[in-house]
Structure 1
Amino acid sequence: MTRVLHILDHSLPLHSGYTFRTRAILKSLQAAGVEIRGITGPRHVRGGPPIEEVDGLTFHRVPGTPSSLPGLREWREIAALRAGIERLAADWRPDILHAHSPALCGMAGLRAARRLGVPLVYEIRAFWEDAAVGNGTGSAGSLKYRLTRALEDRVVKGADAVFTISEGLRGDLVERGHDGGKLALSPNGVDLALFGEPPPRDVGLARQIGIGEGPVIGFIGSFYDYEGLDDAIAAMPMLRARHPDTQLLLVGGGPMEETLHAQAAASPARDAIIFTGRVPHSEVERYYSLVDVLAYPRKKSRLTDLVTPLKPLEAMAQRRIVAASDVGGHRELIEDGVTGLLFPPDDPAGIAEALARFIDEKYRWPAMREAGRCHVAENHDWARNIDRYRAVYQHLLESGSSATE
């Protein structure tokens, strides 16, 4: 049985899009007969035992190191994680190391793979320098931006195989001069076994939070600037001019929360904009049941053009209608007018017009729900998608590859 050690920034029991993708990958590989474990570095900030079992998965923890000057801190993190990988490998002896972005995990994996003489697979879920720009913690072209990009290039060059979650990321790497022959696609996916028939509308919850009969436009996720929720709020007065009973339901929280609350309070449509705050993951399905159209109004940027989000796929898996901005990451997931709706990014008037027309054409929604679910089943079900990993693992083991730095 092939043994694969997954090198991670953080993992369950923390909840994030990153940890949910990780869970789906590991559980699917496990079900397919691959022996897997995970190891997290100092950025897994949740306390816990050195070896932690979560949902039938085993995670090894490398404790944090004292903070220091930027740059030196990151190299210490890489060294600590590399040492942790080698300690674990002395006992468990993995056949392959599979590192997941950011590049700090990739570099730790690359150095450990060289010392252990095993292949390294590196998986890029986003370019973290662009993600930092998107969430307001970095700036394009800064020294940190360029160093992060250079580190990523070094890991990609040294790895034996590289996966990206989108064609946009893969194409960008090819443009940088990387060998397209070792760049494979592992698109975002869902575990369809977790999604049965969508639950009926939770009438009690609707009454409790003030949701009417609709139509209800909803967003469930993190409130980052790049998500474009300010554009959704700005579109509401124009949308209600066409459909006066429309409501906007915003479930979650994040850095933009205070700003969005203030914007909504000043809106002529303020009574139709409902914030719930963060809700327990176990309760999310109840809120999904209240939404007619899941909206993802991401702003146009390098991040949103190159990276495919997970939330629209989860919505389609639950037979929910999806409407999203026409950016590259969404175009890889949604066929406009077939599996969902695409509307112009950064354009509240355009969003309002597209959603108003969409509501006028509700007769199209049942077919769109089924088309979305079929698209996910055929192209984004982890039970199928993990065959891409298994094929690469097998090739690396048969060819005797090992990482080079």
Structure 2
Amino acid sequence: MSARTLLVAHPSPDLYGSDRQLLETITAAVGGGWRVVVVLPMSGPLVPLLEERGARVEVVDHPVLRKALLRPAQLVRLPWRMLAATVRLRRLVRRVDPALVYVNTVTIPEWVLAARLARRPVVCHVHEAEDGHPGLVRRALAAPLLLSRSVIANSAAARDAVTDVVPRLATSVVVVHNGMPGPAEGPAPLRERAPGDPARLALVARLSPRKGIDVALEATALLTAAGRDVTLTVCGTVFPGYEWFEEELRARAGRPDLAGRVTLAGYVHPTWPELASADVVLVPSRLEPFGNTAVEAMLARRPVVATRVQGLAEVVDDGRTGLLVPPGDAAALADAVASLLDDPARAHALAAAGRAEADLRFTAERYGDAVLAVLAGATGHTVEAVARPGS
């Protein structure tokens, strides 16, 4: 067995929250002396970034448990697909011969089974905090985690989502909040504005109902109806199958009360310029296991208005580092934004406190050290044996 090879299984080649967090995981592992092989189900924009971080990438088709596969018609065929994938992936694991398999989601459980059948230890990283599925489905997603040597959850909400349905996992789950670097040149100063000046709002997210973009549009309409000169820029694209939601957003943005007020910008990278141009950043998710965008806004030194749900309530300290409102409540979202537009001094204070909090709690260095400690424990090394050079 190779003593220093880490095989990482990831469900997406895209560049959204958990995909970008994977880049920080790879940076930490390579810096800690691991040889890293990442397996993706298809090629995409994540591949060259992984390679830049020092990973070797293989593209191997494997099932990912998207919501479409959890429908009755698909569930009938799913066990056979999972069984066939497990057999194929077991051969892949034995070929790569890793010291450890790192499964970066609960939505590819076949990797956990394949690794254990190949007699390799497993670490699972939980980025999900689903509570909308039936209990049986949630237990089925969480149960394979019992085969892991360690489980990382990106928030207490994600931890609770799996331990509530499989209590035996409580002793093996460690919470490691996401960490990320800030803008390379440091945060640009928050634009000076007086109450009543035009205001720019920004939202960065996948275009899906769970992200609450429709709520942000309604809040923008309410602010406009109240006589405020506000615009909203939405950065993000849809998962395949959610094109209907983007069509609904475009139709709503084109109605007279919002015409010219909303820009659906599509995929934007890097997002720092969009955040820097904003007076307030919105994170109106209905469900959010962590909330990378909230942290990015804090790192960009911009005031955040987010929803009081799951991981966002762990990231944002209401009234100190940002504002929290109930999910799905456009009026509350509009009121919170208005309070910041009417009180620029408070907006500056929240932005400054948010930046200080992000520098303390959500750095890439802190995250990398925590991940390395888990990898060390899962393979029986000491933390010093896998510490990054200079750490």
Normalized against structure 2, the TM-score is what? 0.80
- Residue aligned with 1:126, SS: coil
Task: Decide whether aligned partners of structure 1 residues 33 and 360 sit closer, same or farther in structure 2, where only a CA change above 3 A counts.
Answer: same
Q: Supply the distance in 2 between the matched residues of 1:370 and 1:337 (Cα, whole angstroms).
A: 12
Contact persistence 2:7–2:36 (CA under 8 A): yes
1:122-159 deviation digits (Å, cap 9, x = unpaired):
1111156x5xx6xxxxxx43xxx83x424323212221
> Which letter maps to 2:281?
L
Residue 186 of structure 1: aligned partner: 176
Residue 386 of structure 2: aligned partner: none
Q: Supply the distance in 1 between the matched residues of 2:62 and 2:116 (Cα, whole angstroms).
A: 23
> Which letter maps to 2:163?
V
**What runs of 5+ residues in structure 2 fail to find an aligned partner?**
64-68, 382-391
Q: Supply the distance in 2 between the matched residues of 1:280 and 1:312 (Cα, whole angstroms).
A: 16
Q: Supply the distance in 1 between the matched residues of 2:177 and 2:124 (Cα, whole angstroms).
A: 14
1:296 to 283, 296, 318: 283
1:304-362 deviation digits (Å, cap 9, x = unpaired):
4xx11211112211222211122232111101121111123222222222211121111
- Residue aligned with 1:315, SS: helix
Residue 153 of structure 1: aligned partner: 142
Q: Supply the distance in 1 between the matched residues of 2:62 and 2:123 (Cα, whole angstroms).
A: 24
> Which letter maps to 1:100?
N
Task: Decide whether aligned partners of structure 1 residues 189 and 241 sit closer, same or farther in structure 2, where only a CA change above 3 A counts.
Answer: same
Within the alignment, does 1:106 sit opposite 2:109 as a pair?
yes
Q: Supply the distance in 2 between the matched residues of 1:288 and 1:188 (Cα, whole angstroms).
A: 19
> Which letter maps to 2:128?
A
* Residue pairs, 1:269-288, within 5 angstroms: 269-271=258-260, 273-282=261-270, 284-288=271-275
Query: Aligned-pair distance for 1:92?
Result: 4.0
Within the alignment, does 1:346 sit opposite 2:333 as a pair?
no
1:362 to 332, 335, 344: 344
Residue 2 of structure 1: aligned partner: 4
2:122 to 120, 123, 128: 120
Task: Decide whether aligned partners of structure 1 residues 37 and 72 sit closer, same or farther in structure 2, where only a CA change above 3 A counts.
Answer: farther
Task: Decide whether aligned partners of structure 1 residues 252 and 158 sit closer, same or farther in structure 2, where only a CA change above 3 A counts.
Answer: closer
> Identical aligned pairs, as a percentage?
22
Query: Aligned-pair distance for 1:26?
Result: 0.8
- Residue aligned with 1:281, SS: coil
- Residue aligned with 1:117, SS: coil
- Residue aligned with 1:118, SS: coil
> Which letter maps to 1:8?
H
* Residue pairs, 1:83-98, within 5 angstroms: 83=87, 85-98=89-102
- Cα RMSD of the aligned pairs, angstroms, is 3.3
Query: Aligned-pair distance for 1:83?
Result: 4.7
**What runs of 5+ residues in structure 1 fail to find an aligned partner?**
134-139, 203-211, 400-405
Q: Supply the distance in 2 between the matched residues of 1:169 and 1:312 (Cα, whole angstroms).
A: 17
Normalized against structure 1, the TM-score is what? 0.78
Contact persistence 1:102–1:127 (CA under 8 A): no
> Which letter maps to 1:16?
Y
Contact persistence 2:129–2:161 (CA under 8 A): no
Q: Supply the distance in 2 between the matched residues of 1:179 and 1:365 (Cα, whole angstroms).
A: 41
Within the alignment, does 1:165 sit opposite 2:149 as a pair?
no
Q: Supply the distance in 2 between the matched residues of 1:90 and 1:352 (Cα, whole angstroms).
A: 55
Q: Supply the distance in 1 between the matched residues of 2:116 and 2:373 (Cα, whole angstroms).
A: 22
Task: Decide whether aligned partners of structure 1 residues 93 and 279 sit closer, same or farther in structure 2, where only a CA change above 3 A counts.
Answer: closer
Residue 217 of structure 1: aligned partner: 201
> Which letter maps to 1:125?
H
Query: Aligned-pair distance for 1:171?
Result: 1.9
Query: Aligned-pair distance for 1:241?
Result: 5.2
Query: Aligned-pair distance for 1:223?
Result: 1.8
Query: Aligned-pair distance for 1:81?
Result: 4.8
Query: Aligned-pair distance for 1:232?
Result: 2.2
Task: Decide whether aligned partners of structure 1 residues 179 and 89 sit closer, same or farther in structure 2, where only a CA change above 3 A counts.
Answer: closer
Q: Supply the distance in 2 between the matched residues of 1:267 and 1:178 (Cα, whole angstroms).
A: 54
Query: Aligned-pair distance for 1:269?
Result: 4.1
1:273-325 deviation digits (Å, cap 9, x = unpaired):
2214314424x3333332111111223xxx44xx1121111221122221112
Contact persistence 1:9–1:102 (CA under 8 A): no
Residue 59 of structure 1: aligned partner: 57
Residue 29 of structure 2: aligned partner: 29
Work out the number of aligned pairs and report it. Answer: 360
Q: Supply the distance in 2 between the matched residues of 1:285 and 1:372 (Cα, whole angstroms).
A: 16
Query: Aligned-pair distance for 1:86?
Result: 4.0
Q: Supply the distance in 2 between the matched residues of 1:63 and 1:386 (Cα, whole angstroms).
A: 28
Query: Aligned-pair distance for 1:221?
Result: 2.4
Contact persistence 2:28–2:369 (CA under 8 A): no
Task: Decide whether aligned partners of structure 1 residues 335 and 265 sit closer, same or farther in structure 2, where only a CA change above 3 A counts.
Answer: same
> Which letter maps to 1:112?
A
Residue 397 of structure 1: aligned partner: 379
Task: Decide whether aligned partners of structure 1 residues 17 and 81 sit closer, same or farther in structure 2, where only a CA change above 3 A counts.
Answer: farther
4+ residue runs over 6 A deviation: none
Query: Aligned-pair distance for 1:45?
Result: 5.7
1:41-78 deviation digits (Å, cap 9, x = unpaired):
4xx365999xx94553211222469xx97346544554
Q: Supply the distance in 1 between the matched residues of 2:117 and 2:212 (Cα, whole angstroms).
A: 45
